Structure formats: C-alpha cells, structure tokens
Structure 1
Amino acid sequence: MYSMEAIDDSWITKRKYNGLDGQEHIEYHEIDYYWNKVLSIVRFNGYSKYSTLAKLVKNVRIVSHGKADVERGFSTNGNILTQERTLLSDKSINGLRAIYDDVDYLGYRSVHKMPISIDILRAVQKLSALYKEEASRMKALAATQQQENEQFQKIEVEKKKLLEQEQELMLKYKRLQLEHKTAQLLLDEGNQRMGNSLKKGDFTDVHAAYALNKSGTEKIKVIDEEMTKIMENVSIIQQKRIHAEREQSRKKSKLAAE
C-alpha cells in the first residue's frame, strides 16, 4: 500500500539552506515532481505499482481550485453569442473563441488594439476563401441530403402502397379459399349421390349428381387458377417490398453518415 511505502526525503525536499537571518530554510519540490517519483515506482514484473492511485492523482490534479476560469469562460461566451449571433454553429463559436483567447494571450485584450500585419491580412484572405469553399460544400451537401430524403419518403410511400396491394390480394385469396370449400362440397355431394344411385340401381338421380360433379369440378379449376395467380402476384409484390426496404435502408445509412 502507498501508506506503507518508504518515501525518499529527496522527493519532497529540494534543498536546505541558511538564510541571512541565520535560520535554516527548506525549499520543497513542486508537487508534480513528488507524484512523478511515486507513480514511477514499479513492481518486480515492471508494471506500475500504483496504477489506480495514478488515476486518482491525475483526476484530482486537474480539478480547478476555483470558479474564476469557468465564470470567465461563460462571460466570454456571453460576449460572443449576442442576439444577432444566435444561429452560429459550433465550429464558428470555437473559431471566435480561439481568436478571442489568442488576442487576450498576446496582451492586446481587444481585437481593435491588435496591429494589422501583412501576415494577418493573408491569413484572413485564406480563411475567407476556405469559408466560401466550406459554405459551397455545405450547400451542395444540404441539396444532396434533401434529394436523398425526398427519395427516402418516395420509397416509404411505395412500400405502403405495395403493402396495401398485398393485403388486398390476401383478402381475395381468403375469399377464394371459402369458395373453394363450397365447390368441394358440391363435388363431394355429387360424388356421393352418384355412388348412391349406382348402388341402388336407380339412375333417376344420376343426371343431377353429374351436374353437381361437373359444376364443382369446373368451379374448383377456376378457383385454383385464380389462387395460383394471386400468389404469384403476392410473391412479386413481396420481392418489390424487400427491394424497397433494402434501398430505403441504404439511403438511411447514407443520410446518417452525411
């Protein structure tokens, strides 16, 4: 544990000397020097002995001792983000902050007090050209995104239309299934009556049975053809829907990437 570590006094004390008053004075190292020594201690395998402590110390060291810098930053942002500048992008705000901080760092405090050199003029011209280029690129990107979004919405409408068509066909298919059952009942009844007539040797009901049989058979044939055609159309619609969904997913990913 760190509390049990044998700390070399030279990590703390930089030097001792006697002042003009004859008293002994001690000059200490900076705190960074001390922690650098402590956190450089390694185990026998070469790994840091106090890796967790290192994280704690680093986080504690970056904590501000006051709110002055934070408050100053808010004040600066307040001066930059005026009522006429409410639509500035993050990039523009960062650029203005960089200029403000650089001017303040150079000691001029205000931009109008800073001398204008040929290098500054060239830098402004270059930045102006870059700004126009960026604005043109963003405009083209916005137009492309709008076009992609319109196509995305168009595909969405097409998907809904295809889904409605598929649902309508499936309802028709279910109705045909009911009609198929009815036709099958007619066919079964005709076969049963035909069989009964043959067993009894009474052929008076044969014609009626034959008519039922024929009607049921023809109806089943027509229904089967319609059902087959419907399922073929449903399959085509489903393929179109799958293609539309893939295309929509591709455009959605493209819009997200842009």
Structure 2
Amino acid sequence: MEKKEFIQMYRPTIKTDQSLLSLSHGNADVERGFSQNAALITDDRSSISDISINRLRATKDAVKFYRRGKVHEVPICKGLHDNVKEAHSRYQVDQEITQRILKEKEAIVAAAKLTKNKQLFLVEKEQNLIDQRKILQEDLENSSKMLNEGN
C-alpha cells in the first residue's frame, strides 16, 4: 500500500485522533494545584490565608523558573533587594487597611443595631400615644354624654 492510499484511507481516523489528542487531560492542573497547596500547608501553617498560599506558590514557581529550582543560583538584582526591603512596610499597610475595614464594618453593624433599637422605641412610643388617644377619646365621649344629659 502506498503512502497516498494510506493517508486517504485513514484520513478520518487521523483527524479524529488529532482532535482527541488536543483535548485537555481533565482536571490535572487543578489537582496539581491542590497537591502543591497541601505540600505548602504543614501543621504549623494550618491557619495560613489564601493570599499567603498564593505568595508562597509564586515564590516557589519563581525559584523553579530560575536555575531549575536551585535557590542559591537565583539572581539577586537591585529590584529584588528593594522589594524585600519594602515587604514589611507593605505588610503593615495591608494590615492597617484590613483593620480599618473591620472597624468600618463594626461601625456599620453598630449603627444598624442602634437604628433598629431606635425604630423599635419609636414604634412602642407610637403605640403608647395611640392608646392614650383612645383613652382621651373615650373620656371626651363620656364627658359629652354627661354634658348632654345635664342640659
């Protein structure tokens, strides 16, 4: 069988095979991410945040990118050095922002609670005024009846 005949005969199969081979391999990337996260989270790091996990993975990936994972061969440039110097100040700014957001949320919750209490107080006061009005209305009707009977 010649090459030309072979290609014509198996052309549909070749296209199907190429299509199948181009499909992704399921959730391999996601599952790899889970296993990498599990390796990063040890017992002493059990309460680590998502941001910290992402930063650790970025650091690990950067080390892999430079010199195939050899930490001692990662080039230390001025930008990296400056970045490390500024890391703590960025962390402090991030913590201040987080604390400010928490305080604002607490203030909003407290204001909502105060508004609800005020609303309940006003509803109760309104009910008391309605009750007083009914009593005064009854007194007025009784007084009017007595006045009419006296005339």
Shared fold (TM-score, shorter chain, > 0.5): yes
Q: Could you say which structure has the larger radius of gyration?
A: 1
Contact 2:67 2:74 in 1 (8 A): no
Listed as ranges, the matches of 1:16-165 within 5 Å are 64-106=24-66, 108-109=68-69, 112-115=71-74, 117-118=76-77, 119-165=79-125
Within 2, Cα distance between the matches of 1:66 and 1:104? 24
Question: What TM-score, normalized by structure 1, do the two folds share?
Answer: 0.43
Listed as ranges, the matches of 1:148-187 within 5 Å are 148-187=108-147
The structure whose residues are more often strand, as a share, is: 1
Within 2, Cα distance between the matches of 1:134 and 1:159? 37
Q: How many residues align?
A: 137
Question: What TM-score, normalized by structure 2, do the two folds share?
Answer: 0.67
SS of residue matched to 1:155: helix
Instruction: State the shift of 1:82 in Å.
Output: 3.0
Q: After superposition, what is the alpha-carbon deviation per residue over 1:138-194, rounded to whole angstroms, capped at 9, x for unaligned?
A: 223323332343333223222222222111111111222222332232233x2xxxx
The structure whose residues are more often helix, as a share, is: 2
Change (3 A) 1:82 1:179: farther
Change (3 A) 1:84 1:182: farther
Q: Quick one: percent identity of the two aligned structures?
A: 27
Instruction: State the shift of 1:113 in Å.
Output: 4.8
The residue type paired with residue 122 of structure 1 is: D
Contact 2:63 2:74 in 1 (8 A): no
Higher RCO (CA < 8 A, seq sep 6+):
1
Structure 1 gaps of 5+ residues are: 1-21, 32-60, 191-208, 211-258
